Structure 1
Amino acid sequence: MTKATTPEPKFELLQADDYSQYLLREPREIAFVLRQLAARRSMVTAHFGERNEFLLTTVIEVAADNKSLLVDLGREETIIANAMACGKLLCVTQIDKVKVQFPLERLERVTHEGFPALRAPLPDVLLRLQRREYYRLSAPAADTLSCQIPLANDRRITARVIDISGGGIAVLAPPDDTLLQPDMSFRNCQLVLPEFGAITATVHVRSLFRMTQRNGQDMLRAGCQFQDLSAPMAHAIQRYILRIEQDRASRNV
């Protein structure tokens, strides 16, 4: 690929503590994301060197054993030589407006179908950032997710979850339920994720509006933001979302 004048910007370092809950470390999960990039031929900006040089590339394929991947190198020999001399790339791209960043090291120049390519071991870590532009997953009908919201006097609401992201959930409540109001916060809410256990978090109601379902019944839709979500629980949500994505992708093959 040719060098461009406006590269995809790098964001926070992979080691940043603030983003630890967005890191994938399981090889199978990392390989799944990289295969998504390959299938979509997503443009990847690969940064390298102290002068912040970059080249534009794409992921060609991920090895069947999930141990290595191939990326395109384009034809600009000067840039290729500089990248190989550096020996490390920091790759940045997006999938469905979710930012993805991963390092590549131990670079090996190869030829793929007659064109320059680069082989590298599968990265040990991949950042799938959902902080500012959260990818929202529509809750699978089979899972029937619900959230237990504690109220005063030992009362609680059981609200059906209709979508979930790393940043929060959207729930449905009866239309006459006046206990959910914008800017209210509820502590110790519980959301059970199949295979991943219970998530306990504070939820803050950001929006509330009435909607009519297909059966004609009116419901309230509350958009809720997670507050003070622990890293293990945030990671469990990420893993749940990825598992659902993998299941849906396998059914579409």
Structure 2
Amino acid sequence: MTQTDNAALKFELLQSDDFGRYLLRDRNEILQVLRQLIAKRSMVTAYLSGGRDFILTTVLAIDDDTLIFDPTPDELRNRQAEAAEEMICITQIDNVKVQFPIPGFVPTSFDGAPAYKVPLPDRLLRLQRREYYRLIAPVSHSLICQIPVPAEGGAPNTYEARVLDISGGGVAVVVPPEGVEFTPETEFTHCQIQLPEIGTVQASLRVRNLFRVTNRNGISMLRAGCEFVDLPERVASVIHRYILKVERDRNSRERGL
């Protein structure tokens, strides 16, 4: 079994302008997502305590108030999962990222075979499908969003934030380590993004959510999801043209052209 980089990311919602869109606490809503997970036999990455080690498993069934998991072929990992105080489960359902915490595995059986059980999670993070297609920033060139921030008694300070993805609706950026407050509903005007071979676009941004993202190497960063505010049609067209160009170039490389 293999694990993609996308599946290896752990998202922790820190702040959001609409918390309920992402974090579910209602039991019926959580059950609905978990049943979809079982029906699609989605692979689950369960991070062990500390976040560096993980196991790959699947949810086999829901039995009353417990989840039944498939054990891994690696007995050492199984023992670690039994000893863990908490594990963070990450998966995807139709390209929607899902995350929920569970305690350590408890041995049981399912359909006559060894299995593990845990209580149903009391909360579940679901990153819903986006309205706009989002382009992951290409590795061939970095995208930087220049964010002017007013300074007392002088010209605005300009901070550079690395763009993680971009669409006609907004961008996700790495939050600068200091000097800029990123909280939901904060607006930044006159932001600029240089799109290689296309041109520079200027737009206002409104912060919608803030996540802590940790990769499988344990490296974490703060990710801010921002939407464009009153984006002119001509600017949206420039962004769309850039996305199409990057996708076209990427497809050509994959075909060896």
Q: TM-score with structure 1 length normalisation?
A: 0.48
Q: TM-score with structure 2 length normalisation?
A: 0.47
- Greater relative contact order: 1 or 2 (C-alpha under 8 angstroms, separation 6 or more)? 2
